[in-house]
Structure 1
Amino acid sequence: MDKKRPRTRIQMKNTAAIMEAALDIFSQHGFRGATLDLIAKSSGLSKPNLLYYFPSKEAIHIELLSGLMETWIAPLRALDPQGDPITELMSYVDRKLQMSQDYPRESRLFANEIVQGAPRMFISISEDLKALVDEKSAILQTWSDDGKIAKVNPRHLLFSIWALTQHYADFDVQIRAILDGHEEDPFEEARHFVHTAFLRIITP
């Protein structure tokens, strides 16, 4: 499809349907397990019609990942160096956990790409994300040096926040199977536990 020309309403509707279907398929089956046939069927379009909008499975996957990356790093961008350090970090933890609750498919899509070696987004990770992490780590290091937060390794603190909050999206099936009805909403108790854990880690 010629992306330079304004898209019609039906083209925008079909593109949105493809993206929604692809998010479901890729998050469930990963890149290797997903097929154009599955995406076309889920989107309600024929395979030839789908190929009018995207020339390949990889093109759809890249489109999804491109939109996801900015959404995924937005909470880290929002970390304010002028704000109260404890408040800023706990707000970041809360936003990341909320994203896992609101965007579980997107989280699994991202995780699947990383597990495969990030072949379609390595540049974004090694350049854009790394630059942002370097910038925010410098802020965390300053807060730590000034005694405003505990002495922690900034990057490993961020890794820990990512790991613990995104776990609730990426391993949702495992969590719910183990809880087996003990908690009506796993995120309610998770929010209390995660908040308490990181507050103890970062408080001087």
Structure 2
Amino acid sequence: MREFPLEFRRRKKLLFYPEQPERFTADFLEIGPGNGDFLIRLATRYPDKYIIALELDRPRFHKIEKKLSRRGITNVLLIYGDARVVIPQYLHSCRFERVYILFPDPWPKRRHAPHRLMSLPFAQLLAGLLRPHGEIYLATDVRPYAEWVAENIVQVPTLELRGFPYSNENLIRDYEETFFERVARREGAQIYYLTARRRR
């Protein structure tokens, strides 16, 4: 599958919080933190860990920025930008212990498939950013998307998918129900969890 063209994404100005980052290395990465509640809980639980969060929606970026500032959280670098642009440009030398992708937009229509996160090239990119035995966690309420992600992950030799093709039991470390999961469950949706571990 072809990758989604990113020219218009690159033209967008990246935003950072803090505005002048001191570092682009971290222990954890979250792609698409949504309203930021899980990110804040994780940062509070692990004050000695540094976290990078990438948010593509500008209003959400500013909402999370305010939450981090009000709580005085200093172990998070929040970036407004497309993960497929930011990671190769700024995070290529990172080695993460964990990567969280919780309820990304599944882009369910076939013609929108190139927009989806966790294509095979993107899964390969993330695999290269993991520490030995580091893990990628993904949660979604869309079964075809979960199956599509699993199909891509199993093609990456350095990744081992647990609970193939997905699990209905939560295998995500330090996970707590997110806003989007609460909405999905209220609507009667089934949740699918995927965990991929770097083999070495």
The verdict on a shared fold, with TM-score over 0.5 as the criterion, is no
Give the structure with the larger strand fraction. Answer: 2
Give the structure with the larger helix fraction. Answer: 1
Name which one, 1 or 2, has greater alpha-carbon Rg: 1
